[in-house]
């Protein structure tokens, strides 16, 4: 139930935008909880909708991938800061997931403001472009997404 509520909270009407660059825009449009293949580990997946001109694609990212992106960008001038306060909690409560989604949107917005990025031309820091790329698959690729998104869509 908490996961379905979080997914409902992050519906398209309530998405969190991460604008910045006119060329590249990102919205956090959903969050779901996944489990590893052995179901020994649960984790949240944040659904990001990336827009560049007429092109639009969706990527799924874990908080650990956002942290990894931060570590790759932190040495660059104007790199945004990522709050550490959300690093150590492993909560799947809707309020916590929504706070993390807002934090991801704020971080990506700051990154897109700091660095002029264009996915098509490859302009911008390679780690940021890879993070937003539809071709980059993280550790969650083999995970099993729980039916939270489908259940949230039904009345």
Residue 122, Ramachandran bin (φ over 0: left; ψ between -120 and 50: alpha; else beta): left
pLDDT at 85: 67
pLDDT at 136: 59
Q: Where are the domains of the chain?
A: 24-132
| Residue of 52, 50, 12 lying closest to 31 (CA atoms) | 12
pLDDT at 41: 81
Per-residue confidence in pLDDT tens, the chain, 155 aa: 334 334 434 433 344 444 444 478 999 999 998 887 776 788 889 999 999 988 999 999 999 899 999 999 999 989 998 877 666 666 788 888 888 899 999 999 999 989 988 888 889 999 999 999 987 554 443 233 333 333 333 33
Q: How far is residue 59 from each of residues 39, 45, 51, 106, measured CA to CA in Å?
A: 22, 10, 11, 17
List of residues 6+ apart from 136 with CB closer than 8 A: 59, 130
pLDDT at 67: 92
Architecture, CATH, for domain 24-132: 2-Layer Sandwich (3.30)
pLDDT at 49: 94
pLDDT at 96: 86
pLDDT at 148: 34
Q: CA end-to-end span of the chain, whole Å?
A: 13
């Amino acid at each position: 139930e908490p996961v379905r509520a979080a997914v409902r909270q992050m519906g398209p009407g309530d998405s969190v935008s991460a604008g910045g660059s006119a060329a590249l825009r990102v919205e956090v449009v959903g969050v779901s909880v996944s489990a590893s293949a052995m179901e020994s580990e649960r984790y949240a997946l944040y659904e990001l909708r990336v827009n560049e001109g007429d092109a639009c694609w969706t990527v799924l990212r874990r908080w650990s991938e956002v942290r990894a992106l931060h570590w790759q960008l932190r040495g660059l001038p104007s790199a945004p800061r990522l709050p550490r306060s959300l690093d150590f909690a492993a909560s799947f409560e809707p309020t916590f997931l929504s706070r993390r989604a807002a934090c991801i949107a704020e971080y990506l917005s700051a990154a897109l403001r700091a660095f002029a990025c264009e996915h098509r031309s490859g302009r911008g820091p390679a780690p940021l472009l890879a993070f937003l790329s539809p071709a980059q698959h993280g550790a969650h690729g083999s995970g099993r997404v729980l039916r939270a998104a489908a259940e949230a869509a039904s009345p």
